[in-house]
Chain A
């Protein structure tokens, strides 16, 4: 079957449509602050069209012989005699796949939000921001120039700030938004430094040119190492890698559909995408990939341990996201672009579904606290069905999506980094445990709350059911190696033998065994109570304290870095410098001037005859000088 290739004007429309929705809705916020149903139709229509176009685009890219499409766009910055910064689009399989993922998740989240945000006074503002968020992510994905990537990167940061702090009248939400903005900013410094470094050595920021320069070795290895580390620092900030992960759990203060969007497709995916986009540079840089892999694997285990003990359903999911992002980084570093992106795509669907499910549970029970739920499998059966599918997929049970992407990461990790493979296996175990801890606490046993739970409306359930389809099946995209071929040029793995054939590999059984024991342990603790959770808590009380206090990372940053180092150290030093040196210099200039003038003004006696004498003496002096010098 041959599909007509998409015309280039429509490729621009992919990211301009949500931007247009933002431009149309945002002027309406003032006059119609509250409920204005048509606004949500505008943004949903924009993102649906955009999704349609990106599907067409993906099909076009699929059947192109070289799978690449470069739209030169226009000269954005033209510095005379110097560089030209081009604002164009780079469409390759990577960006085409990401476009489909972002648009589909965003569409589902927006439909869901129509019900979830129904009675919110900021209804219009919400849809304006979410359109901007989608547009900036789409722009980031398609940018052909590292400079415009950076612009969209910052726009993604801005819109996540706006949405995390959507309920800005809550102090916790305002603080979380600020924290997200500032922490990701630390990473952005690295990104910017990498851009400057690359520009000063390569003379261009065009992504494809940079790729070829890195492959041919035109950029020296040490430059590439520092540049990739800078890029990775940016990715660490956005994708919540240790030690810049601290903003992500706090970002739960935003509306739940926003969390779904941030955690699945837009914000945190940006970091993984950036590493994937600049992958040839990472490959050419010595040790860069090892660092990426090590930080990714460490983050995966580190975040999973905190996910074990959280009592807030959204926080468990947040730590799960951090942990999964770590696995994506590990997959990128050990298996190449396709492993990481395959994981990202699968994760996007089931994690979005989990968050939408958490929102639906919240709708039913009025809380996010796991201790006040229970027994909801009967009360909210549709939510239960969707949530458990997503949880099984995330835990990684054959034949759901999460299993296949996890196989990719595990089998490439064991080839390249056996130690990190161990960390990944531990993470797999903990992932299965904490996901099923949530499932059993929310849906198993008896209801412990006092709210009178009820199923959510169809507007919320339909997007969840639609998302459940890819959450189950997106793993089969690579059943015959198609996904890998598209991103990698060829299916090299040799491990992929179809949906069923994958089970002939021992790795599949290892991971299934680990996942199964994780689920069984959750079952034993939370359904059967063979092992009392409180007893486990008591036995491991020191570990439990460490996990619940999040390794004191927040306290470390707040007290030690912000409090002691910055506030009492650096800022005090700056204040001293300002007061003593700067003010001192200014004050002493003023003091000397007033003192000198206090003396000098005594000459002004007001006696005009004295002035006359001085003037005459002056004339005489001039006359004498003239006489002497001839």
Chain B
């Protein structure tokens, strides 16, 4: 049995679900950030897989994945900066305490 598009997509979906679960359930802001990264990478994986199997003679998916990685890197740096600022303010990075935007 050769490895095809389905397998990549299954891996991608599993990764995405793990990331989503972590992002919605964990309380530590850094962990949430990491989980978001996992979801992004799941998306990158499926991009590359689609590109490889559907349009093998073009590199569009791979190019998009590179862009996505760059954006993710920038996003991580901003996110970590926010978390540091938050820590300095509250000595705590538990997201359940960050609930000022409510009624």
Chain B neighbourhood of A608, CB < 8 A:
95, 98
Counting CB contacts under 8 A, is A588 at the interface? no
Contact assessment for A616 and B100 in the assembled complex, using a CB-CB cutoff below 8 Å: no
B102 contacts A605, C-beta separation under 8 Å: yes
Tally of A-B residue pairs with Cβ under 8 A?
27
Which 5 residue pairs across A and B have the least CB separation, nearest first? A606-B102, A606-B99, A601-B103, A612-B24, A606-B101
B38 within 8 A of A: no
B103 / chain A contacts, CB cutoff of 8 Å:
601-602, 604
A sample of 5 more A-B contacts (CB under 8 A), given A604-B101, A606-B100, A607-B96, is A602-B103, A605-B102, A608-B98, A612-B24, A613-B24
Contact assessment for B24 and A616 in the assembled complex, using a CB-CB cutoff below 8 Å: yes
How far is the CB of A435 from the nearest CB of chain B, in Å? 85
Is residue B23 contacting chain A, with contact meaning CB distance below 8 A? yes
Partner among A602, A604, A605, A609 whose Cβ is within 8 Å of the Cβ of B25: A609
27 contacts between A and B (CB under 8 A): A601-B103, A602-B103, A604-B101, A604-B102, A604-B103, A605-B99, A605-B102, A606-B98, A606-B99, A606-B100, A606-B101, A606-B102, A607-B95, A607-B96, A607-B99, A608-B95, A608-B98, A609-B23, A609-B24, A609-B25, A609-B95, A609-B96, A612-B23, A612-B24, A613-B24, A616-B20, A616-B24
Number of interface residues of B (CB under 8 A): 12
> In whole Å, how far is A587's beta carbon from the nearest beta carbon of chain B?
23
Residue of A nearest to B23 (CB): A612
CB distance from A622 to the nearest CB of B (A): 16
Q: What is the number of residues of chain A that contact chain B, defined by CB distance less than 8 Å?
A: 11
Of residues 562 through 614 on chain A, the ones whose CB sits less than 8 Å from some CB of chain B are 601-602, 604-609, 612-613
Cα distance A609–B32 in the bound complex, in angstroms: 10
Give the contacts of B15-50 with A (CB-CB under 8 A). 20, 23-25
Q: B20 to chain A: which residues have CB within 8 Å?
A: 616
- Kindly provide the distance from the CB of B87 to the nearest chain A CB, expressed in whole angstroms: 18
**Chain A min CB distance to B22 (Å):** 11
Please, how many angstroms separate the alpha-carbon atoms of A612 and B25 in the complex? 10
Q: Closest Cβ of chain B: how far from A470's Cβ, in Å?
A: 87
Determine the chain B residues whose CB is within 8 A of the CB of A609 once the complex forms. 23-25, 95-96
Q: Which B residues lie within 8 Å of A604 (CB)?
A: 101-103
Instruction: Report the separation of the CA atoms of residues A606 and B101 in the bound assembly, to the nearest whole angstrom.
Output: 5
Q: Measured between alpha carbons, how far is A604 from B103 in the docked complex, in Å?
A: 6
How distant is B41 from chain A, measured CB to nearest CB, in Å? Answer: 18
State the Cβ distance, A317 to closest chain B Cβ, in Å. 77
Q: Count chain B CB atoms within 10 A of each CB in A601, A609, A612, A613 and give the residue with the most.
A: A609
A607 / chain B contacts, CB cutoff of 8 Å: 95-96, 99
**What are the interface flags for B38-74 relative to A under an 8 Å C-beta threshold, 1 for contact and 0 otherwise?**
0000000000000000000000000000000000000
